[in-house]
Amino acid sequence: MRVLFFTPYFKQNRGNATTAKRIVHGLRLMDIEVVVFAYEEMTWNDRWQEIFDEMDLYHILHLRRFANWKNKHDVSLNKPYVLTSGGTDINEDLADPNALLLMGNVAEDSCAVTVFTDDGKEKVLASYPELSDRTHVIPQSIWLPTETDESILLPKGNPVILLPAGLRKVKDIFYLWEAFTSLSERYPEMKVVFVGAALEHGLIKQVEMKEDEVEWFTYIGEVSLEAMAHIFKQADIVINTSISEGQPTALLEAMYSKRVVAARRNPGNCSVVIDGENGFTFDSPEHFIMKVESLINNPKQQQEIAEKAFQYVSHHHQFDAEIKAYVNVFNHCLDK
């Protein structure tokens, strides 16, 4: 089987790239020939058209971004193709009538659509009920490659709170800033660390200003996927403040690394974080402060929740199961 994998990003370390790298690695382990075209990073030319024509199937990540790209290029999807939602495309873009129409034009001729959660499936079918017989839920798994270079060190603190997120509006990275400020007064050894690519110019400027203003905050920028395993192990609490999520890979990685996670309540986060069981959820900065103080004052609970987080991810987000699910979808499409 020969598959051309379309992803918006593959080189830059952001959510779509992490998803693409994991799936591509898994498919290659299954002896599937996979060629990757990162359509937001690479240029389409005659050689890519030749490769395109030679493939058996296309796998496309992120509906809206790909639909925009296809509109600007003379590419005819004349082989079976599978669409995988990246999260933002259904949580945010479906509210835009123009994006809804654009995405629908690509989705209507697909042989399958995959989403990460039941909530994602409900949202897709609410907009495109005609896709009910070909929409599949395939939860994300964890593939956290490691490297021997452990040179990226977080500042020492107690606690160390880590926010792994690309700097963009939907991540709402300053949602807890006043909560951090309040906590820093009560816990002077606290450190807050942001890690992620600088994706929006205005946000990086704000982050740099904040870093100059307070001693307890550090931004370490973009790092490789291979470095994240070591970074997670240096944190006490890993947080997610996103307005919306498809399914938060960084939280799953942190849970697999036996870190306590605290996530803002939204359907994507709540699809993996069970409040008080394998992590914590919060719906306001004040609620977050209460949860963090509870953790700080109860190290035994912190350890128990971290262990349950690891067990949860190990059981419900297995790498082999995710890849086999995609292969089954591919085989179904090619057998039609």
* pLDDT per residue as tens digits for the range 294-331: 999 899 999 999 999 999 999 999 999 999 999 999 99
Domain residues for the domain of 47 are 2-141+318-335
- In sequence order, the 6+-apart residues with CB closer than 8 A to the CB of 335 are none
Pair (70, 107) in one structural domain: yes
d(CA 106, CA 83): 9
Instruction: Give the C-alpha distances (Å, rounded to integers) separating 303 from 11, 259, 261.
Output: 35, 9, 12
pLDDT at 149: 56
Rounded-to-integer distance, Cα 336 and Cα 331, Å: 9
pTM: 0.89
Residue at 154 is within a domain: no
Instruction: Determine, yes or no, domain membership for 152.
Output: no
Q: Does some domain include residue 149?
A: no
Average pLDDT over residues 125-148: 89
Residues 300 and 181 grouped into a single domain: yes
Q: How far apart are CA 232 and CA 269, in angstroms?
A: 18
180 and 110 within one domain? no
Q: Is the pLDDT assigned to residue 93 strictly greater than 90?
A: no
- Co-location of 111 and 248 in the same domain: no
Q: Is residue 147 part of a domain?
A: no
Residue 144 confidence (pLDDT): 85
Q: Tell me the torsion sign for CA atoms 298, 303, 307, 313.
A: positive
Average pLDDT rounded to a whole number, residues 127-142 = 94
202 and 216 share one domain? yes
CATH of the domain at 197: 3.40.50.2000
Q: What is the tens place of the pLDDT at every residue in 120-130?
A: 999 999 999 99
In the predicted structure, residue 114 carries a pLDDT above the cut 90: yes
Per-residue pLDDT at 202: 87
Same domain, 312 and 322: no
Note whether 226 and 147 are within 8 A (CB): yes
Cα distance between residue 112 and residue 82, in whole Å: 5
Same domain, 182 and 289: yes
124 and 214 in a common domain: no
Q: Is residue 109 part of a domain?
A: yes
- Quick: pLDDT tens for 251-265: 999 999 999 999 999
How many of the other CB atoms lie within 10 Å of CB of 19? 23
Examine the pLDDT at 150 and tell me if it is beyond 70. no
On whether both 168 and 35 belong to a single domain, the answer is no
For 185-233, the pLDDT digits (tens) are: 999 999 999 999 998 888 999 999 999 999 999 999 999 888 898 999 9
Query: Do 190 and 172 share a structural domain?
Result: yes
| Number of domains making up the chain | 2
- On whether both 42 and 85 belong to a single domain, the answer is yes
323 & 288 share domain: no
Give pLDDT tens digits for 159-181.
Answer: 999 999 999 999 999 999 999 99
Instruction: Quote the DSSP letter at residue 159.
Output: S
Q: Confirm whether 79 is domain-assigned.
A: yes
Q: What is the pLDDT of residue 187?
A: 96
To the nearest whole number, what is the mean pLDDT of the chain? 93
